[in-house]
Amino acid sequence: MEIVKKKRRKAKVDRSLCVACGCCVKVCPVKAITIVYGAYAQADPGKCVGCGKCAKECPASVIRIVED
Amino acid sequence: MKKHWYDYLWIASALYLVLGFVNILFAWLGLACFFIPLILATARGSKSYCHRYCGRGQLFTLLGGRFGLSRGRDVPGWMKSKGFRIGFLVFFFIMFFVMLWNTYLVFAGVRGLSETVTLLWTFKLPWHWAYHGTLFHPGVAQFAFGFYGVMLTSTVLGLATMVLFKPRSWCVYCPMGTMTQLICKARNRAAIRGAGEEAPLRHSAAGSEKG
Ligand code: SF4
Ligand code: SF4
Ligand code: SF4
C-alpha cells in the first residue's frame, strides 16, 4: 500500500524581525507558540495546525505559513 | 480562553488617560508602565509585561480588533527594522530627559510652572483645568504635566498606527517593548546562542513564557 505524505501547513517565525510582543501567543487556538527567552516567538511544529491566526495577528507580520 | 484579572488592565490604561484630564497629578501613576516592564525584564529575563500586564497593548487590540478601528495592513518594512526601532528608543529617551531637565528647572526655581501638556514633542496644549495646586513643590506638578505628555504622545502615535496598520503596530516600535527585548536578549545571550537557528523545543521549555 502506498503511503501518501500529506502536506501540512506550519507557522514559521522570522526570528530576526520578531519583536517578542506575544500577540501571536494569545490567539493560537492550540497553544503552539511560545516566546523564547523574551527574545522571539517560536511555533512548535508538533502542535501547530497551520490555521494562520498568529500570522494575521502579528503586528510586525513576521510569521509565514509554510508547507513542509 | 480563560480570562485573568490582568486581561482587564486596558481599563486602567483608559482610566489613566481620563484621570489626566481631571487632575494632572494622577500622571505620576504612569511610572508603573516604565518600572514594571524594566523590573520584569531585568530580574526575570522575560517580556511578561508585554504578554500579560500591558493595558495599552490590550486597548489597541480591543479598539483595532473588536471595534474594527484598524485597516489591518502590514507595517512598512522600515518600521520593523532594527535601526528604526532602536533609533526611536533613543529619540524617545532623549526627549524624556529633556522633560526631566525642564522639571528640574522648575524644582531649582529657574523656571515657573508651565501648565501645558506637550503633544508629539512639539505642540503645547493648554491643560490648566487639570491643575488644582499641589501640596508639594510645583516641580512635582511639572513632572506630572511632562510625563502625561509622554503618555499621551505615545497613545496618539499608537492609535494612528493602529488605524493605518495592524491593531498592535505600536508594539513594533514601542520603546518599552524594544528596551525589554534588548534587556532579555542581553540577559539570555548564552541560552539564545545555544539554541541556534532551529532551536530544539525542549530547550525552550526553560526559557519560554506562556501568554
Ligand atoms: S498557525 Fe495557528 S496553530 Fe499554528 S501557531 Fe499559528 S495560530 Fe497556532
Ligand atoms: S506576534 Fe509577531 S512579533 Fe509578536 S511575538 Fe509573535 S511573531 Fe513575534
Ligand atoms: S510593546 Fe509596548 S505597548 Fe506593546 S505590549 Fe509591550 S509595553 Fe505594551
Burial class (CB in 10 A: 0-12, 13-18, 19+), B123: exposed
CA dist A24 and B57 (Å) reads: 13
CA dist A48 and B45 (Å) reads: 26
Is A27 part of the contact surface with chain B (CB cutoff 8 Å)?
A: no
Give me the pLDDT at residue B134, please: 78
Protein residue with its CA nearest to atom 4 in ligand 3: B171
Facing residues of A54 across strands?
none
Judge whether residue B153 has pLDDT over 80.
yes
Higher pLDDT, residue A2 or B147: B147
Judge whether residue A10 has pLDDT over 80.
yes
- For ligand 2, residues with CB inside 6 Å are A 13, 18-24, 35, 41, 58, 60, 62-63
Domain map (residue ranges) of chain A:
12-67
Residues 6+ apart with CB under 8 A from B12: B55
Facing residues of B123 across strands?
B119
Is there a contact between A38 and B178 if contact means CB atoms under 8 Å apart?
A: no
Contact B137, B128 (CB under 8 A): no
Is B42 part of the contact surface with chain A (CB cutoff 8 Å)?
A: no
- 3-class SS at B131? coil
Give me the pLDDT at residue B94, please: 96
Facing residues of B158 across strands?
none
Give me the pLDDT at residue A3, please: 59
Residues A12-67, CATH architecture: 2-Layer Sandwich (3.30)
Closest by Cβ to B199, choosing from A35, A36, A60: A36
Report the Cα B81 to chain-centroid distance in Å.
19
Cell 510569521 found at:
A63
Name the helix (H) or strand (E) containing B13.
Answer: helix B9-22
Judge whether residue A48 has pLDDT over 80.
yes
Residues 6+ apart with CB under 8 A from B171: A19, A21, A23, A59, A60, B50, B57, B60, B177
Is A62 part of the contact surface with chain B (CB cutoff 8 Å)?
A: yes
Closest listed ligand to the CA of B55? 3
Closest CA to B27 of B199, B150, B173, B125: B150
CA dist B102 and B108 (Å) reads: 10
Atom of ligand 2 nearest to the CA of A22: 5
Judge whether residue B72 has pLDDT over 80.
yes
Give me the pLDDT at residue B101, please: 96
Summarised one tens digit per residue, pLDDT across range A15-43 is: 999 999 999 999 999 999 999 999 999 99
Atom of ligand 3 nearest to the CA of A22: 5
Give me the pLDDT at residue B122, please: 86
Closest listed ligand to the CA of B166? 2
DSSP B77: G
Atom of ligand 2 nearest to the CA of A58: 1
Is A65 part of the contact surface with chain B (CB cutoff 8 Å)?
A: no
Residues 6+ apart with CB under 8 A from B136: none
Summarised one tens digit per residue, pLDDT across range B178-210 is: 999 999 999 998 898 887 665 544 444 444 554
Summarised one tens digit per residue, pLDDT across range B14-57 is: 999 999 999 999 999 999 999 999 999 999 999 999 999 999 99
Pocket test for ligand 2, best of A62, A64, A66 (most atoms within 8 A of CB): A62
Q: Please state the rounded mean pLDDT for residues B156-179.
A: 97
Closest by Cβ to B47, choosing from A38, A56, A58: A38
Residue B129 pLDDT class (50, 70, 90 cuts): confident
Is A68 part of the contact surface with chain B (CB cutoff 8 Å)?
A: no
Give me the pLDDT at residue B18, please: 95
Higher pLDDT, residue B110 or B199: B110
CA dist B49 and A47 (Å) reads: 25
